[in-house]
Structure 1
Amino acid sequence: MSAVESVVTQRSKKEPSSNLVTIDTNGNEFKVPDYTIKDILSAIPKHCYNRYLFKSLGYVVRDISMMVLISYTGHKLIPQVNIEDHASVSYCLRGALWFLHSYLIGLFGFGLWILAHECGHGAFSDYQNLNDFIGWVLHSYLVVPYFSWKFSHSKHHKATGHLRKDMVFIPYTKEEFLEKNGASKISEIMEESPIYSFAVLVFQQLGGLQLYLATNATGQTYEGYSKIAKSHYAPKSPVFDKHQFWYIIYSDIGILLTFTMVYQWYKNFGFFNMSVDWLMPWLWVNHWLVFVTFLQHTDPSMPHYKDNEWTFARGAAATIDRNFGFVGQHIFHDIIETHVLHHYVSRIPFYNAREATDAIKNVMGDHYRYEGENMWKSLWKVIRSCQYVDDDQNNGVMMFRNVNGIGIKPKD
């Protein structure tokens, strides 16, 4: 059993309660799961744990090959697009094609990010040193500090859904939300306008990842540390353990090497070439990462737990599978469609995750959550309805509430 899974048998000081029931944002009854991690693990076929190096490498080669092919095709064909006597139309058409060019590279770039993420979990192959080298190269190219992310992400998996120990997308409590808005009770806070919600959404999608890496935004607070001191680039950040110091340095070296490569790219091939083949696709990767992870861990039906009611099995169930069609399954390597399983056993490779997901559904029953609606629609619904969490029933189970008139009326 892995180090991540070993924590699942640990209980908090007070034995968690059973048969807990609360009300979610939409007014539906939410039953807290009481099954154990042992029940989940025993349901998964043993062959689902098998990892194949060359199969995983094949996906890396495929994604890189597609990025190269898209780049070659774009630079070969797009400059030749010309509509005689309609220069402005021709200019706009070429602009749209270059946008599509960068978008497609970004899709496969995020696919590479997922494969590097598999490396960090040990799901890529049986050889962790090789996993770390491949993950370090791929994540560095995408300006993600590999070991820094690996360590903080591991803590996220160990404490998913725990209000004070999870590492990312930690919601405001009612008290924190009131303090943020300078109010003494919820009724004093005005509804947010759709325009404001949209502005928050745009900022989150474009800058959320880099803000998290640079300042640990949406992570734990760590009193006494400045924002920069909590950075994923800081070797002495409280996010990490002391023995991880040099691994953070290695991560930073990877980022510096990437910036050096990009600068040489710009010098030798020009800003436009570098932009459409790296900079714009990189921005797309940033967007996809925030888009996907936010919707995996935030939903009106999603609980968070106080310490006395949290267990590993409950926390892992505080995630949701969604559907992103062909792109999700074939380019994003099923990270969206099988994320609940991933939180129970992160070392199962993505190509075995669907079978394993089907297996754990039999144990989870109604506690398995899946949302098949358009994810862009879900993103808007979530940003409007999930503003803070509150424990209405005073039973240690925190559910999302909002002041936008969506779902049940929040308590003062």
Structure 2
Amino acid sequence: MACRLVDSSFLLKGPQQKRIHGHRFVSLYPTGTSLLKWEALPQHKPKTQKYVIPLRKGKIVKSVASPITPPLPAADSAERRQELCENYGFRQIGESLPDNITLKNIIDTLPKSVFEIDNMKAWKSVLISTTSYALGLFMIAKSPWYLLPLAWAWTGTAVTGFFVIGHDCAHKSFSKNKLLEDIVGTLAFLPLIYPYEPWRFKHDRHHAKTNMLNEDTAWHPVMKKHFDESPFFKKAIVFGYGPIRPIMSISHWLIWHFNLSKFRSNEIGRVKISLACVFAFMAIGWPLIVYKVGIVGWIKFWLMPWLGYHFWMSTFTMVHHTAPHIPFKSSEEWNPAQAQLSGTVHCDYPKWIEILCHDINVHIPHHVSSKIPSYNLRMAHKALQENWGKYMNEASWNWRLMKTILTVCHVYNEERNYISFEEVAPEISEPIRFLRRVMPDYA
């Protein structure tokens, strides 16, 4: 421990020092106190006393102790990566992918069978989602009030499976019949009030420009210039990227999917068809629900499962693409292989969630090639592990992982990737400090 004296019980007037035994130096840091004796210091026999003006004997001397932190290991060393795993809640943080590796190099190592569409497996996923959703509605109808949260959790997770089916349809990996894919995708999205075509167009850009600053249509870091636009906006964004981030896909859904100005002219026709389907479902389906079970029933049977879906939509997206060590790059620096393989996170969830959500969290192979059907993602992931495993980021869902995302991954910084709101705007960051205090920290 290195100490710097800020107060003293004696004053030195010359090069000589009076020998004082047993003076106590108290550290202001929580590292303890140090008892310093002059025998441990270089000794000089005084020739005279006139240079020393003693103020008081036996006074406690305060000091500031500045702990000397050992240098961190190299950024790409195994020791450093293990340290980051522990800090962030990851199981593995991958090495940096060499610049000369292309996305085609990676895709070429996948077995051809992972790209094969199997109609039986595709319709099996529809059966799983349909039956699990029906079971969820039955549970909501029969559960006493104190069991409703469990019924909502199940039903919200089950309806997320419909999203994954529509997701496969949008990527043309559900069926060889492309018209059938569009019909199934549109129907699968209706209970979620998601317009299929607008989502498909937006999502294709996410895959084309994953982790590219300002271009990726999924969540990316807050840009400082946007953060400073207005006091109201700053407070709203602190909440949006902090306490309410696990349902912020609702905002994303509203902003991106219903505004015709966000789409190209050749996309507008299909977008309007999808919007008409969604509005028709709302105009017919919602009144029927209210007619049968009332407003409270609409909340119980539709709204609460819908919020459960958005919890998973937000959480999955955050975990897939957000971590302090995963950079977002400008278009000039962006590397597709690095973004898709090393910039995407594989995360394991409880088995029932994986089944109901059709393995959407086996996400790295999906970004390596979106043409892989959801039922082949595990086979593709195994092949990637065998050939590129040391470059991949993997985790099992845990509280430390979520706490890291919610309290650290906020404002973009070119050198550090992310800076927390606590550093950028401490005066309005109480929501982030609150999360630090109350969220569990175990992995």
Q: Under a length normalisation based on structure 2, what TM-score does the superposition of the two structures give?
A: 0.69
* Shift, 1:202, TM fit: 3.9
* Shift, 1:287, TM fit: 1.4
Partner of 2:129: 63
Cα distance in 2 between the residues matched to 1:302 and 1:209: 21
The equivalent position to 1:44 in structure 2, one of 76, 94, 110, is 110
Partner of 1:8: none
* Shift, 1:54, TM fit: 2.9
Native 8 Å contact 2:94 2:392 kept in 1: no
1:121-140 map, 5 Å: 121-140=171-190
Partner of 2:213: 163
1:316-335 map, 5 Å: 316-317=340-341, 318-335=343-360
* Shift, 1:73, TM fit: 4.6
Report whether the alignment pairs 1:273 with 2:273: no
Partner of 1:109: 159
1:10-409 map, 5 Å: 31-34=96-99, 35-75=101-141, 77-78=142-143, 94-177=144-227, 201-206=242-247, 208-216=248-256, 232-235=257-260, 237-238=261-262, 240-259=263-282, 260-317=284-341, 318-336=343-361, 338-374=362-398, 376-392=399-415, 399-402=417-420, 404=422
Native 8 Å contact 2:344 2:363 kept in 1: yes
What is the letter of the counterpart of residue 402 of structure 1? S
What is the letter of the counterpart of residue 277 of structure 1? F
Partner of 2:37: none
What is the letter of the counterpart of residue 381 of structure 1? T
Structure 1: 5+ residue stretches without partners: 1-19, 79-93, 183-188, 217-231, 393-397, 406-412
Structure 1 residues 358 and 314 mapped into 2: Cα distance closer, same or farther (>3 Å)? same
What is the letter of the counterpart of residue 369 of structure 2? V
| 1:157-213 Cα distance to aligned partner (Å, 9 max, x none) | 00001113211212124555566779xxxxxx9xx9xxx97785443333x223112
What is the letter of the counterpart of residue 419 of structure 2? R
3-state SS, counterpart of residue 325 of structure 2: coil
Structure 1 residues 175 and 253 mapped into 2: Cα distance closer, same or farther (>3 Å)? closer
What is the letter of the counterpart of residue 241 of structure 1? R
Structure 1 residues 373 and 274 mapped into 2: Cα distance closer, same or farther (>3 Å)? closer
3-state SS, counterpart of residue 210 of structure 2: coil
Cα distance in 2 between the residues matched to 1:178 and 1:160: 25
Native 8 Å contact 1:234 1:248 kept in 2: no
Structure with more of its chain in helix, by fraction? 1
* Shift, 1:112, TM fit: 1.3
Q: Give the count of matched residue pairs.
A: 335
3-state SS, counterpart of residue 31 of structure 1: coil
Instruction: Report the more deviating stretch, 21-30 or 275-284.
Output: 21-30
What is the letter of the counterpart of residue 212 of structure 1? H
Structure 1 residues 29 and 403 mapped into 2: Cα distance closer, same or farther (>3 Å)? farther
| 1:115-134 Cα distance to aligned partner (Å, 9 max, x none) | 11111111111122111110
RMSD: 3.1
* Shift, 1:380, TM fit: 1.8
3-state SS, counterpart of residue 213 of structure 2: coil
* Shift, 1:148, TM fit: 0.3
Structure 1 residues 72 and 383 mapped into 2: Cα distance closer, same or farther (>3 Å)? closer
Native 8 Å contact 2:168 2:373 kept in 1: yes
What is the letter of the counterpart of residue 332 of structure 1? C
Structure 1 residues 197 and 244 mapped into 2: Cα distance closer, same or farther (>3 Å)? closer
What is the letter of the counterpart of residue 103 of structure 2? I
| 1:26-47 Cα distance to aligned partner (Å, 9 max, x none) | 5999735421112111111001
3-state SS, counterpart of residue 400 of structure 1: strand
Cα distance in 1 between the residues matched to 2:280 and 2:200: 19
* Shift, 1:280, TM fit: 1.0
What is the letter of the counterpart of residue 325 of structure 1? P
3-state SS, counterpart of residue 193 of structure 2: coil
* Shift, 1:152, TM fit: 0.5
Cα distance in 2 between the residues matched to 1:402 and 1:364: 32
Native 8 Å contact 2:322 2:409 kept in 1: yes
Structure 2: 5+ residue stretches without partners: 1-74, 88-92, 424-443
Larger radius of gyration: 2
Cα distance in 2 between the residues matched to 1:372 and 1:200: 22
| 1:34-92 Cα distance to aligned partner (Å, 9 max, x none) | 211121111110011111223211211221112213323543x43xxxxxxxxxxxxxx
Structure possessing the higher relative contact order (Cα contacts under 8 Å, 6 or more residues apart): 1
Cα distance in 2 between the residues matched to 1:241 and 1:198: 32
What is the letter of the counterpart of residue 158 of structure 1? A
Structure 1 residues 32 and 308 mapped into 2: Cα distance closer, same or farther (>3 Å)? farther
Partner of 2:25: none
| 1:82-104 Cα distance to aligned partner (Å, 9 max, x none) | xxxxxxxxxxxx21212222221
Cα distance in 1 between the residues matched to 2:231 and 2:280: 42
| 1:306-342 Cα distance to aligned partner (Å, 9 max, x none) | 2222122122131111111213421111111x11111
| 1:249-281 Cα distance to aligned partner (Å, 9 max, x none) | 111112112212121121133223332222211
What is the letter of the counterpart of residue 98 of structure 1? L
Q: Under a length normalisation based on structure 1, what TM-score does the superposition of the two structures give?
A: 0.74
Structure 1 residues 95 and 355 mapped into 2: Cα distance closer, same or farther (>3 Å)? same
